[in-house]
Amino acid sequence: MTRKPDKDLFDSGADNEFRPLAERIRPRSLAEFVGQKHLVGEKRLLARVSETGKVPSLILWGPPGSGKTTLARLLAGMTSSEFMSFSAVLSGVKEVRDVVEEAGRRRKMEGRGTLLFVDEIHRFNKAQQDAFLPHVENGIVVLVGATTENPSFEVIPPLLSRCQVIKLEPLSDEDVGKIIDRAMDDAKHGLGARRLKLADTARALTIEAAHGDARKALNAIEIAASFTPDEGTISPESVVEAIKSPYLRHDRAGEDHYNVISAFIKSLRGSDPDAALYWLARLVEAGEDPRFIARRMIILASEDIGNAEPAALMVAVSVAQAVEHVGMPEAAINLAHGVTYLACAPKSNASYMGLHRAVEEVKKSGALDAPLHLRNAPTKLMSAFGYGKDYKYAHDFEGGYVEQQYLPDELVGKQFYKPTYHGKEKNIAEKLEKLRQQTPEKKPDKAPRKKGKTD
């Protein structure tokens, strides 16, 4: 959903202990903005905006905590525009229309523009992104989208062509240190009123753990400060405890991201729908891209379920399509539907292991020749060399099967696919056993077959 514009972009009447430190300590002027020198230097983006009072629609592409939201707020203030934030996680096409109507009224009644900040714009589906196009074109709103993903892949081309892409870099350790120091010293917005000290080792640990993410650093300091009495010293131990906090631990680019997705996949593989739903909830609540979750489910449907329940792949693909069409937050229901189905489906990795065995054989034996009777013979010369000779067309035989050599001579008798007796794959296993014992029997009154270039 949209949030009502703030009267003051940074204080908004709620600058108190209940607002996160990272929110309270945001720069209120260009002079306080740390990092991104390629944007704030002379003749750079912010300098041009300050001179002209105009800002184009932008896509801010950068890692978490690099200043995307802060930069959007500063741009709104520098152009005297109304700042409105819009979450791609919580909003849909209806909310887009509401914002645009409000922006139109503001322009007509007050003569003021509206800067619409869309966080995680990559999480909008095509229909939601399409809804912005006419309003960006006619100037009703200046769109500033923020994304951690490459916009070339995540933002539709028509919208991308109407926006200038600005790439933000991770903050340097020096930049993160400056932000921490300001938070410690600022008595009004930061922790300065508590007269806390920060041990050098604790400061270094925080900077190292942040990996260029100012928000993560400030969250860690805030949690560590909560363990420390006024006028005390924030210790390295309290910083370590803060870093372990669940509040900080799910980072889409960090270790816990991979731990959670690993637990999710292994719960699906292990047929535990309750655990799979729990890890799904963790991913969704942490802001994981639902398309990433859906892609992993598609892979699992073939790798771990396969022919034990062939419909699993269709369900997983349908879930991925639903995510694209519906968008979050409702698409979480589609994900849950797919998760419970995949978790409860019979399991087989026989197809995956069959591919693995075949690849190993290819690496070991190289590019072996196809048997002559399987080769294509589009020319008389090839036919003269025996290409395609004595090939048996399976449909000419009873049951559509005929015993025939299909592997290279060196691999005759090799078996890569070893079906299990789990679920519907049992039918495949039994069928293959019967086929291997069957002798070829020609169909009676065979109709003539047309030959093409490839048989």
Position 90 confidence tier, pLDDT thresholds 50, 70, 90: low
d(CA 141, CA 289): 26
Buried residues in 47-58 as b, exposed as e (16+ CB within 10 A): eebeeeeebbbb
Burial class of 362 by CB neighbour count within 10 A (0 to 12, 13 to 18, 19+): exposed
Best CA proximity match to 302, nearest among 261, 276, 265? 265
The structure tokens listed for 103 are 């922006």
Best CA proximity match to 96, nearest among 59, 134, 55? 134
Burial class of 291 by CB neighbour count within 10 A (0 to 12, 13 to 18, 19+): middle
Instruction: Give residue 306's Cα distance to chain centre.
Output: 24
Task: Compute the average pLDDT of residues 101-126.
Answer: 84
The domains located in the chain, with CATH, are 21-167 (3.40.50.300), 173-249 (1.10.8.60), 255-344 (1.20.272.10), 369-437 (1.10.3710)
Position 18 confidence tier, pLDDT thresholds 50, 70, 90: low
CB-based contact 329:89 (threshold 8 Å):
yes
> Does residue 448 carry a pLDDT above 50?
no
* pLDDT at residue 5 in the model: 37
pLDDT in tens, 378-422: 787 778 878 888 888 888 887 787 788 888 888 888 888 888 888
Task: Compute the average pLDDT of residues 12-20.
Answer: 54
What pairs with residue 151 in β-bridges? Answer: none
Contacts from 234-240 at CB under 8 Å and sequence distance 24+? 234/196, 234/197, 234/198, 234/199, 234/202, 235/199, 235/202, 236/199, 236/201, 236/202, 236/205, 238/202, 239/202, 239/205, 239/206, 239/209, 240/205
Bigger pLDDT: 236 vs 8: 236
Query: What's the number of CA atoms in the CB half-sphere (13 Å) around residue 201?
Result: 6
Share of the chain above pLDDT 70, in %: 87
* pLDDT at residue 88 in the model: 63
